[in-house]
């Protein structure tokens, strides 16, 4: 894949006229109706909207988990729609990180082994893989929990493992889909404080889908979807 731009002179993400249509004819469902959206490097963007508004579809396209029907998606100046399947896999593996509501951890493996998984796919040698994974677990505050399986961890700890797994590859963009959806209020705040710290101190660009206004308040910017379009896009005075 062509080397990605690292100068920061252009948005890291650009959508121009992006549509997504499921089905054909009278059965066609328009999930996105011509979305224009730019995200700068280092932003923390919360994406909101009611069910069926297009926010999750947009997230899937940004994360290269789905493709658009029409329009253009550029990641660091590269037209994603023109990439081969192999190139898309490399883009996801080397530049993007994902955190989901359901944690998606392997139940029978330790926390450390879960974090190591993306590095295994990259072919990183075992010793270096362990070093980087231990560092990622330290970043999320899980020193001493490396040998525990997900069943031995609280929901908040499991999500921290999931975040460690997402950042161990040092992604350019971290996509978080309802990362606090399965957590109580106290654990939710802990996870949001962690994401804020990653954004501020490490400069990780974060795009987070959430339906909770309290969680969106942590972002620097809030984009609201409605009926497949961006209804509003505003800067946010986030929590300190």
Distance CA 108, CA 90 (A): 27
Q: CATH number for the domain including 219?
A: 3.40.50.300
75 within some domain = no
63: buried, middle or exposed (CB in 10 Å: 19+, 13-18, 0-12)?
A: middle
Give 159-186 pLDDT, tens digit per residue.
999 999 999 999 999 999 999 988 899 9
- Say if 106 falls within a structural domain: yes
> Can you tell me the mean pLDDT for 65-78?
95
Q: Which domain holds residue 210?
A: 40-69+84-235
Look up residue 89 and give its DSSP letter: H
Domains of the chain: total: 1
In this model, does residue 9 exceed pLDDT 90?
A: no
65 in a structural domain: yes
Name the token pair of 234: 């505003």
In which band, very low, low, confident or very high, does the pLDDT at 103 lie, cut at 50, 70 and 90?
confident
The pLDDT assigned to 49 comes to 94
Domain annotation covers residue 231 = yes
The confidence score (pLDDT) of residue 240 equals 44
How far apart CA 70 and CA 227 sit, in angstroms, is 17
Q: 140 vs 7, which has greater pLDDT?
A: 140
Asked if residue 2 has pLDDT above 70, the reply is no
pLDDT of residue 167: 93
**pLDDT tens column, 42-61:** 999 999 999 999 999 999 99
Give the mean model confidence (pLDDT) for residues 111-140: 94
What is the DSSP track for 97-122?
EEEETT----TTS-HHHHHHHHHHHH
Is residue 8 scored above 60 in pLDDT? Answer: no
d(CA 36, CA 27): 25
Q: Is residue 222 part of a domain?
A: yes
Q: What is the pLDDT of residue 181?
A: 87
> Does a structural domain hold residue 23?
no
Q: Give backbone dihedrals phi and psi of 58, rounded to 5 degrees, phi first.
A: -60, -45
Query: Does residue 32 fall inside a structural domain?
Result: no
Q: Helix or strand or coil: residue 181? A: coil
Note whether residue 31 is domain-resident.
Answer: no
3-state secondary structure of 230: strand
pLDDT computed for residue 102 by the predictor: 85
pLDDT, position 29:
92
């Amino acid at each position: 894949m062509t080397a990605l731009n690292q100068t920061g002179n252009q948005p890291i993400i650009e959508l121009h006229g992006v549509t997504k249509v499921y089905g054909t004819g009278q059965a066609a469902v328009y999930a996105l109706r011509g979305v224009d959206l730019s995200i700068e490097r280092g932003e923390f963007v919360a994406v909101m909207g009611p069910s069926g508004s297009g926010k999750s579809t947009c997230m899937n396209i940004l994360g290269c988990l789905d493709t658009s029907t029409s329009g253009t998606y550029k990641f660091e100046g590269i037209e994603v729609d023109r990439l081969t399947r192999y190139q898309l896999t490399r883009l996801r593996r080397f530049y993007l990180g994902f955190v989901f509501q359901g944690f998606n951890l392997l139940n029978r493996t330790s926390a450390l082994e879960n974090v190591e998984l993306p590095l295994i796919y990259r072919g990183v040698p075992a010793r270096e893989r362990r070093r980087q994974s231990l560092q990622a677990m330290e970043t999320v505050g899980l020193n001493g929990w490396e040998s525990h399986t997900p069943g031995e961890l609280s929901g908040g700890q499991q999500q921290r493992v999931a975040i460690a797994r997402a950042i161990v590859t040092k992604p350019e963009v971290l996509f978080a889909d309802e990362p606090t959806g399965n957590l109580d209020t106290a654990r939710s705040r802990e996870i949001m404080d962690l994401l804020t710290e990653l954004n501020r101190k490490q400069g990780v660009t974060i795009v987070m889908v959430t339906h909770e206004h309290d969680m969106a308040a942590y972002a620097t910017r809030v984009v609201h979807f409605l009926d497949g379009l961006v209804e509003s896009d505003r800067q946010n005075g986030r929590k300190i």
